């Protein structure tokens, strides 16, 4: 089936026909065949995350990406004596701060404007000043703006000071090359419907085995207990504690095969990067400026400033592009008006060229109407 529009959104995103077709059968959740599939997925995920496969494990968790972040924060932070440092420059890091409030976790926050990159020096200062800090959390690609945060520097520093690291790599894992071991990441969180290009329904955590092993009994929620979920998946070899999203899991397996067939994360990164660069260049020709400097920009999603034209409304722009077969994303930052265009998913340079044409037409049409 052909979709009525191409999703240029940061997940759920446009998937292949074959990923969607993989959902057309039912599975028994305790049958060995299904559990083997789950185990295969877990092994493949660890393989995508690091070359030190014996040190890490993968836990799958029902729900959207946020459920996985909350499961991780809520299970990794000790019940007594833990303090989490959060570097926040967008809605997704703010969400981690919010989770800490809800779960009663001590947090210290470096709060930045969404356009401001995180500085490792500021993190180091806090690590020196506040010895109570036990953990550090950071978002890799802040999907709010498209900014790529310096996880390499931040996690290296955190380890220098003996802290546990948690990285929300929701919108970058599978699309940006990384090795969790080399990056000193203890817990990395992502989900099915972002760069792996599956459909929504579950997320996953790549966890350092010996760190996860220390988290027994920390869970602040029964269903979001990452330790227990992992324990069952290990002991019962691929069994989820509660009903698993079987069709979504099967589609995800297909998506993993397709990632491999494309040439792995490196090849996917190149495609996204090519899409993103062409997009910014073409948009500039039409008269739209990107919010961020190229240096901080991820290949995942780009924020564009509204044009100076006072007649510009996002709603009209959105509707006009939707009519032409493209769905884009509103902005999410407070200080300036922006909209966002994603490059992840089943999206190729030809699609970006077609999009640019549609945007050109939309802009011209408006000028004609006004003249």
Ligand X SMILES: *Cc1c(COP(=O)(O)O)cnc(C)c1O
Q: Annotated binding site for substrate: which residue ranges?
A: 340
Our finding on whether 168 is near ligand X (CB under 6 A) is yes
Instruction: Provide the minimum distance between the beta carbon of 74 and ligand X in the complex, in angstroms, as a whole number.
Output: 15
Instruction: Provide the minimum distance between the beta carbon of 250 and ligand X in the complex, in angstroms, as a whole number.
Output: 20
Instruction: Provide the minimum distance between the beta carbon of 139 and ligand X in the complex, in angstroms, as a whole number.
Output: 5
Options 16-24, 58-66, 226-234, 305-313: segment touching ligand X (CB under 6 A): 58-66
Instruction: Provide the minimum distance between the beta carbon of 245 and ligand X in the complex, in angstroms, as a whole number.
Output: 13
**Which residue's CB is nearer to ligand X, number 95 or number 135?**
95
Please report, as residue ranges, which positions from 221 to 240 form the binding site for ligand X (by CB under 6 A). none
Options 59-67, 158-166, 320-328, 347-355: segment touching ligand X (CB under 6 A): 59-67
Please report, as residue ranges, which positions from 281 to 310 form the binding site for ligand X (by CB under 6 A). none
Instruction: Provide the minimum distance between the beta carbon of 316 and ligand X in the complex, in angstroms, as a whole number.
Output: 26
- CA 102 to each of CA 97, 106, 331, 362: distance values in angstroms, whole numbers, following the listed order: 9, 11, 26, 44
Residue nearest to ligand X (CB): 65
Instruction: Provide the minimum distance between the beta carbon of 191 and ligand X in the complex, in angstroms, as a whole number.
Output: 5
Please report, as residue ranges, which positions from 265 to 284 form the binding site for ligand X (by CB under 6 A). none
100 closest CA partner among 66, 61, 74? 74
The answer to whether residues 206 and 262 touch, using CB atoms and an 8 Å cutoff, is no
Please report, as residue ranges, which positions from 182 to 221 form the binding site for ligand X (by CB under 6 A). 191
**Which residue's CB is nearer to ligand X, number 170 or number 279?**
170
**Which residue's CB is nearer to ligand X, number 185 or number 359?**
185
Among 35, 50, 62, 64, binds ligand X (CB under 6 A): 64
Options 42-50, 64-72, 126-134, 356-364: segment touching ligand X (CB under 6 A): 64-72
**Which residue's CB is nearer to ligand X, number 13 or number 359?**
13
**Which residue's CB is nearer to ligand X, number 100 or number 359?**
100
* Cα-based angle 294, 151, 81 (whole degrees, multiple of 5): 145
**3 state SS for the chain:** CCCCCEECCCCCCCCCHHHHHCCCCCCCCCCHHHHHHHHHHHHHHHHHHCCCHHHEEEEEEECCHHHHHHHHHHHHCCCCCCEEEEEECCHHHHHHHHHHHHHCCEEEEEECCCCCCCCHHHHHHHHHHCCCCCEEEEECEECCCCEECCHHHHHHHHHHCCCEEEEECCCCECCECCCCCCCCCCEEEEECCCCCCCCCCEEEEEEEHHHHHHHCCCCCCCCCCHHHHHHHHHHCCCCCCCCCCHHHHHHHHHHHHHHHHHCHHHHHHHHHHHHHHHHHHHHHHHCCCECCCHHHECCCEEEEECCCCCCCCHHHHHHHHHHCCEECEECCCCCCCEEEEECCCCCCHHHHHHHHHHHHHHHHHHHHHHC
Considering CB under 6 A, how many residues would be counted as binding ligand X? 13
Among 7, 8, 10, 253, binds ligand X (CB under 6 A): 10
Residue numbers in the known binding site are 340
Among 14, 50, 171, 362, binds ligand X (CB under 6 A): 171
Please report, as residue ranges, which positions from 96 to 155 form the binding site for ligand X (by CB under 6 A). 139, 143
> Which residue ranges make up the site for ligand X (CB under 6 A)?
10-11, 64-66, 69, 92, 139, 143, 168, 170-171, 191
């Amino acid at each position: 089936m052909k979709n009525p529009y191409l999703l240029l959104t940061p997940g759920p995103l446009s998937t292949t026909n074959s990923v969607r077709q993989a959902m057309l059968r039912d599975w028994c959740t305790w049958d060995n065949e299904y559990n083997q599939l789950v185990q295969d997925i877990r092994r493949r995920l660890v393989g995508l995350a690091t070359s030190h496969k014996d040190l890490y494990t993968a836990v799958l968790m029902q729900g959207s990406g946020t459920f996985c972040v909350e499961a991780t924060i809520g299970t990794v932070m000790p019940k007594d004596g833990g303090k989490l440092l959060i570097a926040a420059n967008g809605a997704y890091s703010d969400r981690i701060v919010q989770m800490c409030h809800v779960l009663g976790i001590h947090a210290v926050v470096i709060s930045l404007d969404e356009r401001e990159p995180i500085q490792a020096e500021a993190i180091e200062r806090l690590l020196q000043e506040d010895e109570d800090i036990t953990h550090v959390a950071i978002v890799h690609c802040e999907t709010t703006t498209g900014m790529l945060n310096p996880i390499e520097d931040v996690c290296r520093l955190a380890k220098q000071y003996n802290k546990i690291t948690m990285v929300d790599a929701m919108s970058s894992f599978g699309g940006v090359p990384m090795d969790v071991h080399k990056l000193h990441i203890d817990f990395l969180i992502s989900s099915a419907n972002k760069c792996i290009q599956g459909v929504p329904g579950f997320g996953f955590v790549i966890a350092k085995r010996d760190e996860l092993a220390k988290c027994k009994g920390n869970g602040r929620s029964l269903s979001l207990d990452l330790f227990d979920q992992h324990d069952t998946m290990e002991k019962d070899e691929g069994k989820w504690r509660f009903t698993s999203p079987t069709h979504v899991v099967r589609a995800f397996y297909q998506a993993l095969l397709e990632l491999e067939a494309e040439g792995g994360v490196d090849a996917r990164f190149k495609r996204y990067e090519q899409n993103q660069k062409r997009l910014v260049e073409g948009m500039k020709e039409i008269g739209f400026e990107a919010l961020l400097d190229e240096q901080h920009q991820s290949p995942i999603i780009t924020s564009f400033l509204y044009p100076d034209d006072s007649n510009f409304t996002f709603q009209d722009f959105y509707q006009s592009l939707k009519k032409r077969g493209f769905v884009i994303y509103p902005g999410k930052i407070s200080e300036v008006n922006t909209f966002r265009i994603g490059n992840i998913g089943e999206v190729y340079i030809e699609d970006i060229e077609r999009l640019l044409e549609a945007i050109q037409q939309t802009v011209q049409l408006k000028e004609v109407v006004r003249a």
